[in-house]
Structure formats: structure tokens, C-alpha cells
Chain A
Amino acid sequence: MRKAIPMNTMEMLAQARPASLDPRPDPARRASDIAAALSVGQPEPAATAPATRRHHARRTRAVRPSRKLAAGAGLTALVTATVAAFVVVSANHGQVTVDHGRANADRGQVIGKASLRTAVLAALDTASGQIGYVRTTTSANGRTDGVAESWTYPWLPQTGQEVRNLTRIHDPRHLSDPGDYAETETIYRQPAAANTTVKAEIIEVLFKQRKWYEQQALWSGPQQAQSPSYIRQQIAAGQFTVAGKAEIDGRQSIKLIIHEPADPGLQLDGTLWVDATTYLPLRSVIKSVGTRPGGQLDLTTVNDMSYLAPTAANLAKVQISIPAGFTRESLP
């Protein structure tokens, strides 16, 4: 019987490589590293000799935010400050002109789709631990037929993370009555895939009727087109076109056309506006054209988005409160 040839030292060493050398995927780290680098301003011309590298290390150390800051609540401010140096101010022909406020105040530059993608993804990752507030207005053939507000924490959850959502829905039949609304608190764990039904704890309070009920049920998750996960997925995949600039409620923004997946029988048109300073989504509009008996049905959904720090006061907005005297109802 032939004796096995022993491995040489280098092969044995290669096989002994510890797994601890491999970084874990951490979008926040990526965002903070890139943001920290960009915040120091323009690169220098290629003239520095390698001998000066220690000098560089020390000099840049002074402006680098600490790891704690980058990983914590200050990250948003950091990215905001970073991208503020590359503020978008005008656009044309699908490319957006930026004014480099710090280094090139008088010189407009053109930001490409790839740079915009990077900036938006970094902003999304940075805000992932915040509370997302979305005000949704729906209309059919130009007539408003529903208004909802929702608070979600965390706004962009990791798979398996507990998510709390509180949605306040105004009865579409009685929009003029501010007291006629329902609130629903939904607690679930973020599924790995989009459009997945998950088990959820749901509490609903009907304020006009002064009653509430509680149930554990399967829940279909947030509507895909307005979910931050979906927005992130489309941006990451480059499924968008830069369509220029716009002002949303007095804020400079960049308009993106989101390429919606083909849906037989339903024509979807998605538009997203991201803040030109923070690169966070400000508004999305989804238009769909379908048919109904007697004619065409044009549906429009407008989502206005903002972000709240997860302070105790703000987290209370994600928790439902049942007023005293309300009756608990059994589910049919």
C-alpha cells in the first residue's frame, strides 16, 4: 500500500487559516469608513513619497470620527456632513450636477449614477436603525380615498430582527372626521425574503367605535413598493434612472425613476425623490393603471418619508396606546 504524500508546510498553513480573519458583512462599517474618508476632502495630487506615510496616518487620525461615533447615533450626522460636501444642486439629461461645497465651491461637477447609488445606499444603511415615518396618501382617478401614517422601527431591519410598526389609518369614507381612524400595532420578525408572510402580533384600536382587539396572525408585511427594503434592493441593483432635480416641501432633492418589475395586467410607474443633502428617500410615488368595470382605474400612492432618532419619546410613537374605557372585542 502506498503511503500518502504528506502536505508541505505551506499547504498545511493555508488550510489552518483561522476564520477570524474574515470580516463579517457590516453595511454600517462600510458606510462609516467611506463617509469618514470622504469627509477629509479631496485627495492630494500623486506626489507624496511613501516615506511620509506615518505623517499621513497621524494627520488623518485627527479628523477621523471615532468608531463609537461611526457606529452609533452620530452616523447620520456624519454621513450628512460628508455628503453635504458633495451637494447636488442642479440636473440635466439624467445626470446631476453637484457643487462641492468644501473644495470646489464655484465649480459644478456631474455626479454619475454609480456615485449616486453609492451615496443613497450609504445613507439608507446609516438610517437603518432609525424610526421611519411614512405618510401615505392614496387616490383613485384623482380623488383621495385614503390617508395613513406609519412609524416603523427599525426602519430597515436585518433578517430575523424584531420589527414594530404602528399604522394609523383614517377611514377613507370619513376623511373629514379627524376622530375617525384606526391604529394598528404589528410586531413581527423580518423575513429573509420580500413578500413573505410572517407570523405577527397585531393589536388594532378603532377610535370612533371605542373598541380594540388583539390577534396573532399571518401578515403579508409592508407593501413592497413602499418598503425601505424594496427601495434599497432596487437602488443596489441599479434599477433606476436619474431624472433630474426637484424641490420637495422646500428641500432640494434628486428625482429617480425606479424601474418596477413587469407585472402583467398592471402598469406600474415608480418615482423616488432623495434628499440632495442626506441622500435619504423623501418621497415615493407609485402610479398604476388598471381597469375596472366601466373604465380605467388610475391609482396613485404618495409616500412622504422622514426619519426619527430612536429616543424613548420617539419609540413611544411605535407603541400603541389603548385609551381607558375602550371595549375589547373578540374576533369573529
Chain B
Amino acid sequence: MTDPDLIERFTSLYDEHYPRVYSYAVSRAGRQIADEVVSDVFLIAWRRLGEVPDHALPWLLVVARNVIANEVRAAARRESLAAELRSWQSGTVPDIADQVSERQAVLRALTALSDDDRELLTLVAWHGLSPRDAAQVLGCSAATYFVRLHRARRRLEQAVSAGAGGPGRRQYVAAP
């Protein structure tokens, strides 16, 4: 493969997957550092272009997951993610569906879950991955993913029910 071919493949990869890598980065680390995460992901993708499979999204999200987990940026991530989750809770994110209280209830409940549960749920619900791809991102088997997803759904339903009982909101603190 010639170098221009590599450049073309890389730019195609970027154009096709940038929005979803960005979405994942925002949901896991917040907007404040999402751009940095995306830049790192695609730097790594360029350096390891030969390893990137044709079905690239799960691979890219695995890289994003590890970039986010990098302890060097842990403090910045906590702050950024907490700000992001607060914006979901408060409904300050512009969205045409803002008026729907049910939607707000779900978002508030989601922010009350653990990082792991939130990731399990949103990989499929928000990022459009198939369960098999989501399992790949999380580094587990599809069967294990389904079990964990089932539990996470239960916890989300409980959190929604708990939140529906009154106007009080849980204050989210991002997990270290």
C-alpha cells in the first residue's frame, strides 16, 4: 500500500467515525476534554493503521476507552465528566426534547449510575453499537455483556422510579 493510500484510508476513517468517537468521548469524559481524547484516538489510529479492522468503530472506541482511562488525564476527566453530567441533570443542554419530563428523569437516573453501568447502557442506546460490538469495546464476551446489560437496565429502572417520587435530584460526583 502506498503512502497516499494510507493517507486516504486514514482521512476516510476520520470522516466516517469522528462523530461517533466524539460522542463516546463526550459521554465518557465530557466536552471539556473530548476534543483532546478524539485527537489522541486518531493519532493512535494513524500510527497503527495496519491494525485497524475494516469494521473500525469498536476498535476506535477501545482506543478511546484506554485514552480516557489514562491516569495522566484522570483529574481533568473527573472535572469534565462531572460538568457534562450536571448539564444532563439540569437540562441545560439545548435539545428540542427538553420539555419532556420523562426524558429528564431518565437522564437524571443515568447520571446516578456508576460509570460502568452508564457505559454499558449508552454504548447501545446512544452510540448505536450492536451488543457484539459493545462487548468488544468492553473486552468481554457477548453473553457476559448481556448479563451485565440486564443488571444495568434494572438499576436504571430503579433509579428512574426513585427519581419519579419527588423533585429532589441526586448530586452526581464522578467516580475517580
**Chain A interface (Cβ within 8 Å of chain B)?**
9-10, 12-23, 29-30, 32-34, 36-38, 40, 42-46, 48, 50, 53-54, 56-58, 60-61, 64, 67, 86, 98, 100, 103-104, 109-112, 114-115, 118
Contact = CB atoms under 8 A, between A and B. Distances in A.
A17 B106 CA distance: 10
A42 B3 contact: yes
Contacts of A40: 43, 46-47
Given A37-B46, A112-B4, A20 B39 contact: no
Interface in B28-59: 31, 35-36, 38-40, 42-51
10 contacts: A10-B121, A10-B153, A13-B156, A18-B93, A21-B22, A33-B38, A34-B14, A61-B40, A64-B43, A118-B7
A16 B67 contact: no
A64 to B, nearest CB: 6
A22 B19 contact: yes
Nearest to A24: B22
B147 interface: no
A285 B92 CA distance: 51
A216 B12 CA distance: 45
B106 A20 contact: no
A5 to B, nearest CB: 15
Given A9-B160, A57-B70, A37 B42 contact: yes
B23 interface: yes
B44 A56 contact: yes
B75 interface: no
Nearest to A121: B11
Nearest to B7: A115
Contacts of B153: 9-10
A12 B18 contact: no
Nearest to B40: A57
Interface string B8-26: 1011001100110011001
B30 to A, nearest CB: 9
A30 B18 contact: yes
B169 interface: no
A150 to B, nearest CB: 32
Contacts of A19: 93-95
A46 B87 CA distance: 41
Contacts of B39: 32-33, 36, 64, 67
B99 interface: no
Nearest to B10: A37
B88 interface: yes
Contact of A29 (B15, B35, B51): B35
B66 interface: yes
A100 B3 contact: yes
A33 B43 CA distance: 8
Contacts of A30: 14-15, 18
Contact of A18 (B15, B36, B88): B88
A13 B62 contact: no
B103 interface: yes
Nearest to A6: B102
Given A17-B126, A54-B70, 11 more contacts: A19-B94, A20-B88, A34-B14, A40-B43, A43-B6, A54-B66, A57-B44, A61-B40, A109-B2, A109-B4, A118-B7
Given A21-B23, A34-B11, A53 B44 contact: yes
B11 to A, nearest CB: 5
Contacts of B43: 36-37, 40, 60, 64
B50 to A, nearest CB: 3
A66 to B, nearest CB: 9
B61 interface: no
Most buried by A among B19, B39, B124: B39
A48 B50 CA distance: 10
A269 B164 CA distance: 68
Most buried by B among A15, A43, A64: A43
A20 B72 contact: no
Contact of B8 (A32, A37, A67, A118): A118
Nearest to B43: A60
B169 to A, nearest CB: 15
Given A12-B106, A20-B87, A43 B49 contact: yes
Most buried by A among B15, B31, B46, B66: B46
Contacts of B8: 112, 114-115, 118
B106 A53 contact: no
A280 B80 CA distance: 37
A135 B63 CA distance: 48
Nearest to A95: B4
B19 A9 contact: no
Contacts of B47: 40, 43-44, 56, 60
